[in-house]
Structures are given as structure tokens and as C-alpha cells.
Amino acid sequence: MRVAFNKNSGFSLVELMIAGILGLILLAGVISLMLGTKQSYRTQDQLGGLQTDGRFALLFIERFVENAGWFEDVAPSIDSAVSFSDIADGGATGNDTLAVQTEVPAGTGIDCNGSSVTGTVVKNIFSLSGDSLMCLGNGGAVAQPIVENVQSFQVLYGLDSDTDGVVNQYVNAAGLSDAKEVISVQVGLLLRSTDNVRNQAEEETFDVLDMSLDTNDLRLRRVFQKTIMIPNQAFLALRSE
């Protein structure tokens, strides 16, 4: 009795090679999808951090600027919301300094660092140190960081030159001669991502109030700007008519 053997069982070398190539293609697709998802997550995470830090910084500054110029007594010891002696302008490419002050009853003053202030005048100075936005209060000796990864901090001052409670023009510190005319402040911040996110560098130009900055790297950046009125100073201007 003869037994027939099937010589076609199993896979040929060509079939194995084709299967291997198809497997590599599928694996490459899965890896590409994973890398793309990771890149998208990193980008969204960095953008979320930028938005959070930028909004927080503006809200933090706004709180103290809006309260600036307040006085408790009939005859205040301060006559302006902006502390003119501490104003500094970084020019076309440098960073600015914003100093605001207010008057409170003795023993109740708290500066931007949470420190108690001796006396009745509370002063807070905002400036950039390295890439950290800092605030120095007159209740303590050491400035504290507000947010990091800040590349530019710019300030313009709204002047009410005819004491009608309306801003006539915005100037930088170099164009400011009388701090009592300041009834609003424009604050501009340029924040950048903590990590390199882009796959390749991109040339970009960012306008932050009166300053322009050119960049060319792998980081993400966003500009945050806000106009903050100083109602107490506007009230003083109207009352002095």
C-alpha cells in the first residue's frame, strides 16, 4: 500500500519574507502613531502650562495695581499710585520694572509676598530676574518668584494729563515725568515653554507692547497683555479739579 505525502505543507521562504515585511510596516505604523500621540500630548501640556502661568501672572499683578493709590486718611502720605522713584524702563529690548504703592491703616499692611509691612505705605515692585517674574514687597527683604519661563516683561503707563479721568496716551517709563498722572497700566508678558517641543526650529517675532523680540528655537511662546485701570488714582485726579 502506498502512502502519499503532501510536499506543499508549511510556508515558503518568499511567503515568510512577505509576512515579515508586512509585519514591519504595521509595526512602523504603530510606532509612528505612538510618537505622534506623545508629541501632541507634550505640545498640549506645554501650552496648558503657558496659559495657566500667563493668566495667573496677570491676575496677580492686577490685584495690586487696582488697589494702588488708595489712602485711608483725609491727608494721605502718598500722592500717586505709581512709585516714581522705583520705575525703570528696559528700553527697546530690555525688561521693565513696575512699582505700585497704596496706603492702609497702620499694622494692617501686607505686601505681595505675604509679609507684614511696618507703617502705612505698602509698596510692591515687579521685575524680571533671569526668566522669573519676581515681586519685592517692602515687608520683607527678599524678592519672591511669581512665575517662571518669562522671557519679556514690559510696562506702559496711561496718562491723564487733563485730569478728566480718561487716559490721553500711553508711555513707557522714559516718557513719564509725573507719576500722579498715571491712572492705568498696560502689562505685557512673553512666556516660553519649559521644554523644547517643536520638531524643528522656527523663526518668530513677538511684539510685547513697545518691544519686539526675535526667536529661533524649539520652544513654544505666547504673549499675554492686559490693561489695568487704577480707580483710586483716577478718583484723585477728578477730585483735584
State the pLDDT at residue 1: 55
Ordered per-residue pLDDT tens for the chain, 241 residues: 555 555 556 667 777 777 778 777 877 777 776 766 666 767 777 888 899 999 999 999 999 999 998 776 645 678 889 988 888 898 877 999 999 999 888 888 899 999 999 888 999 999 999 999 999 999 887 999 999 999 999 999 999 988 888 899 999 999 998 888 999 999 999 999 988 888 888 899 999 999 999 999 989 999 999 999 998 886 665 544 4
State the pLDDT at residue 108: 86
Type of residue found at 121 = V
State the pLDDT at residue 53: 94
Residue 91 and residue 168: Cα distance in Å, rounded? Answer: 22
In this structure, what are the phi and psi dihedrals at residue 4, rounded to the nearest 5 degrees?
Answer: -85, 135
Q: Which of 158, 165, 162 is nearest to 186 (CA)?
A: 158
State the pLDDT at residue 37: 67
pTM (2 d.p.)? 0.80
State the pLDDT at residue 39: 64
State the pLDDT at residue 133: 97
In this structure, what are the phi and psi dihedrals at residue 186, rounded to the nearest 5 degrees?
Answer: -100, 130
State the pLDDT at residue 32: 73
Mode of pairing for the β-strands spanning 221-229 and 182-192: antiparallel
C-alpha cell at 116: 507684614
